[in-house]
């Protein structure tokens, strides 16, 4: 017995459903993918990073969003909800609802066991097609580890790994830096995650 083909929906149908929904879903090639809840550590890191960036960008033409700003990758058609998004300059949106950003400057994802390979692989492939994107940040939630990918003038991406709680993360696209200790504030990490131990 053959299974029935899955019904595909258009981006317009997705947005109509998503704007009424109580939970969030991503969208790609006609399918919606429900997003699951995040851990305490994941939420703390997301809020810490977004708050620190927002504070450092006060007075500048930049906006910082945590978790709920939908981003569309126009070239591939992916709609997604990055953990942290910063846009500097004039934000561009898909329509007058202003809830789907087209031109992020920086995107950060907090890694989890179920999403890490996707965030490092195919999702990053999608994000690289965003001409506005200058930096892509991957933050571990179980150890002091931030991988910062920077777009070079020739279009290549270079990664810098920051692994110690005493270091700072320098966001060149935003002309600011955030201490690792602030990104991981109140996050309980396993012993041995850093020479400095847990961050209070």
Question: 115: buried, middle or exposed (CB in 10 Å: 19+, 13-18, 0-12)?
Answer: middle
Boundaries of domain holding 45: 40-183
Torsion of CA 22, 36, 136, 193, to 10 degrees: 140
Cα torsion 111, 113, 117, 119: sign: negative
Q: Domain holding 53: CATH number?
A: 3.90.1570.10
**Which pLDDT score, from 0 to 100, does residue 55 have?**
98
In a domain, 126, yes or no: yes
**Which pLDDT score, from 0 to 100, does residue 190 have?**
76
In a domain, 80, yes or no: yes
CA distance 134 to 105: 6
In a domain, 20, yes or no: no
pLDDT in tens, 141-191: 999 999 999 999 999 999 999 999 999 999 999 999 999 999 999 999 876
pLDDT in tens, 76-133: 999 999 999 999 999 999 999 999 999 999 999 999 988 999 999 999 999 999 999 9
HSE-CB of 158 using CA atoms within 13 angstroms: 5
Per the document, the length of the chain is 200
CA distance 165 to 148: 15
Which token pair is 165?
Answer: 């709680």
In a domain, 12, yes or no: no
In a domain, 1, yes or no: no
Contacts of 5 (CB under 8 A, 6+ apart): none
Q: How confident is the model at residue 38 (pLDDT cuts 50, 70, 90)?
A: confident
In a domain, 25, yes or no: no
pLDDT in tens, 60-81: 999 999 999 999 999 999 999 9
| pLDDT, average across residues 3-7 | 60
In a domain, 62, yes or no: yes
| pLDDT, average across residues 37-41 | 89
Contacts of 150 (CB under 8 A, 6+ apart): 134, 135, 157, 158, 159, 160, 172, 173
* Region of poorest pLDDT, from 22-31, 134-143, 186-195: 186-195
In a domain, 11, yes or no: no
Domains contained in the chain, number = 1
**Which pLDDT score, from 0 to 100, does residue 200 have?**
43
């Amino acid at each position: 017995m053959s299974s029935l083909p899955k019904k595909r929906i258009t981006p317009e149908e997705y947005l109509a459903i998503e704007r009424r929904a109580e939970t969030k879903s991503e969208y790609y090639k006609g399918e919606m993918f429900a997003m699951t809840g995040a851990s305490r550590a994941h939420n703390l890191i997301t809020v810490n990073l977004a708050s620190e960036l927002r504070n450092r960008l006060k007075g500048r033409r930049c906006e910082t969003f945590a978790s709920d700003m939908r981003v569309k990758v126009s070239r591939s058609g992916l709609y997604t909800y990055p953990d942290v998004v910063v846009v500097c300059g004039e934000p561009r949106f898909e329509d007058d609802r202003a809830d789907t950003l087209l031109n992020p400057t920086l995107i950060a994802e907090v890694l989890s066991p179920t999403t890490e390979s996707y965030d490092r692989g195919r999702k990053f492939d999608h994000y690289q097609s965003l001409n506005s994107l200058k930096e892509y940040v991957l933050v571990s939630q179980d150890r002091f580890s931030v991988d910062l990918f920077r777009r070079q003038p020739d279009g290549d991406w270079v990664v810098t790994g920051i692994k110690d709680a005493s270091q700072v993360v320098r966001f060149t696209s935003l002309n600011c830096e955030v201490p690792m200790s602030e990104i991981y504030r109140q996050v309980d990490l396993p012993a041995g995650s850093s020479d400095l131990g847990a961050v209070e």
